[in-house]
Amino acid sequence: MNTKVDQTILALRRAIQNAHLVTPDAAEEYASLNNSYLSGFESDLSPACIFLPRSKEEVAAFVRTIRPFVSDVQFAIRAAGRQPLPGCANIQGGITVDLRSLTGVNVQDGHVQIAAGESWGSVYEHLEPHGLGVTGGKSTTCGIGGLATQGGLSFYSSREGFICDNVINFEVVVASGEIINANAQENPDLWVALRGGGNNFGIVTRFDLRTFKQGPMYAGMVFYYKPSFPDQMAALVKELTSPDASVETHLMLSLAYAQVFGNGNDIICLNQLYYTQPVQDPPALAPFTHVQPQRTEMNTMKIQTLVEAATEQSAAGQSMIRCLYMNICVKADVETLTTGGDIWCEELESVKDAAGLMCSYTLQPYPVSLLENTNAKGGNVMGLDPSNGPVVNVLLLTYWTEKKDDERIIGFMQKALKRIGQNAEARGQLVPYIYWNYAFSHQDALRSYGEENVKKLQEASKKYDPNGVFQKACLGGFKLFT
């Protein structure tokens, strides 16, 4: 063995009996694992080894083993690999810890225990026979970790809060290699830090989330045309700012472009709508379901189970292609949201010929009821204050197929986002928060939480990772001291 990473791999083989370590020599398995990310930006990276732990004890053994090598060897942590941020869940020349073999869903009285390698689809399949729901991902294929530690939204966010606000316990391997619990009673500072702090503190091996009674919901998609988009913005803002806004709704409104739409020049609009009760055509959704004219043959609104709704959402996406997200947040303001869409459409013209292009300007609101749940459920570190009113996340999402188009696609997204942000700031409508899961490399999601929260995160890091293992060697995502 002639390199530090080779020495680390040998040390892992010695420390963990029958360790599942996959190197490029095992070409077929290695390629299958490394090509299974959502985005090709992650698969572009080639780790020296992919480690698939089968238990929390093996994760702990990995952390203990790699500690002497952290000055020379880097590692990445992968759950489902759905976040497209380059280097977030894979590493060039280092070791990728792939958690897919950590499985198990255990439904308890009032909560559910979920192993870190599970998908939300599996969780919903376990909960549905019990008539239960949980604040989880909107897609069956999403992994648990990224959404549960970085502020993800669920179908139930208006009523229940962020996904991370509903984690009542994290089972986590910290930098010492110790397996600890973080909850309101044990290590509460770490519990709060993990609600938004991502991979800065350890490797979470199990998430315990509170459950609630939940049956079928009214959900689906409505397709319509760009001239109606300003009126939909007005309806969105009216709903968000209404004193009696429904807590049963989850809304996503998009301008979208795809070459498969037809003549290559069409912008189409899409509302993805959820009312979390089995009520056909509820009044709260009427402004968004009854928009005219619409493509009625593509309308999928109906009573669905949680599994069905999440399956429909996952079917709307793609995988194993070039993919990037960028985002900002703004206040609920009609002109800001409408003008943002116009800016996106203008900038889109420069890349419409990119192979396999599919992209969107997508709006996901954070209603006041969602934000109020943060403090009510123990707090998080994301810095969103309900007293400032509702917030709308502006996501730029782009899929394409050819690596040769990377540079100009990134340029289009950065320019559009910069102009959208400048417009919002000029109107006094820009919100500093950036959602980690939708952020690109040039965006500092952690610093957007505010100085006080960053300091709180840094203090937790110094306490639970005094030697900076997860700052020096686990470079994916956003780091606390850079």
Show the domains of the chain with their CATH numbers: 4-101 (3.30.43.10), 105-213+447-466 (3.30.465.10), 217-438 (3.40.462.20)
Cβ atoms of residues 136 and 161 within 8 Å? no
Question: Measured between alpha carbons, how far is 205 from 187 in angstroms, rounded to an integer?
Answer: 16
Report the amino acid identity of residue 46. Answer: S
pLDDT of residue 262: 59
| 42-99 per-position pLDDT tens digit | 999 999 999 999 999 999 999 999 999 999 999 999 998 888 898 999 999 999 999 9
Query: Does pLDDT of 264 surpass 80?
Result: no
Q: 257-271, 296-310, 330-344, 428-442: which range is least confident on average? A: 257-271
Report pLDDT for 145.
87
Q: Which two tokens stand for residue 182?
A: 């973080």
Give the phi and the psi of residue 429 in degrees, each rounded to 5.
-115, 0
Q: How confident is the model at residue 142 (pLDDT cuts 50, 70, 90)?
A: confident
The DSSP code sequence of 301-367 is -EEE-HHHHHHHHHHTS--SBEEEEEEEEEES-HHHHHHHHHHHHHHHGGGTTSTT-EEEEEEEEE-
Residue 315 has pLDDT above 80, yes or no: no
What confidence score (pLDDT) does residue 150 get? 87
Residues 6+ apart with CB under 8 A from 254: 269, 270, 271, 272, 360, 361, 362, 363
Amino acid letter, 50: I
**Predicted local distance difference test score (pLDDT) of residue 320:** 57
Q: Is the pLDDT of residue 178 over 90?
A: yes
Model confidence at 318, pLDDT cuts 50, 70, 90, reads low
Q: With 70 as the cut, is the pLDDT of residue 210 above it?
A: yes
Quick one: pLDDT band at residue 260, thresholds 50, 70, 90? Answer: confident
Whole-number Å distance between alpha carbons of 301 and 294: 13
Q: How far apart are CA 84 and CA 60, in angstroms?
A: 27
Q: How much of the chain, in percent, has pLDDT values that exceed 70?
A: 98
Inter-residue contact 392 to 332 (CB < 8 Å)? yes
Query: What gap in Å lies between CA 368 and CA 331, rounded to an integer?
Result: 11
Q: What is the pLDDT of residue 148?
A: 87
Tell me what pLDDT residue 147 has: 86
Mean pLDDT for the stretch of residues 11-15: 97
pTM, to two decimals: 0.96
CB 277 within 8 A of CB 198: no
Across the chain, mean pLDDT equals 95
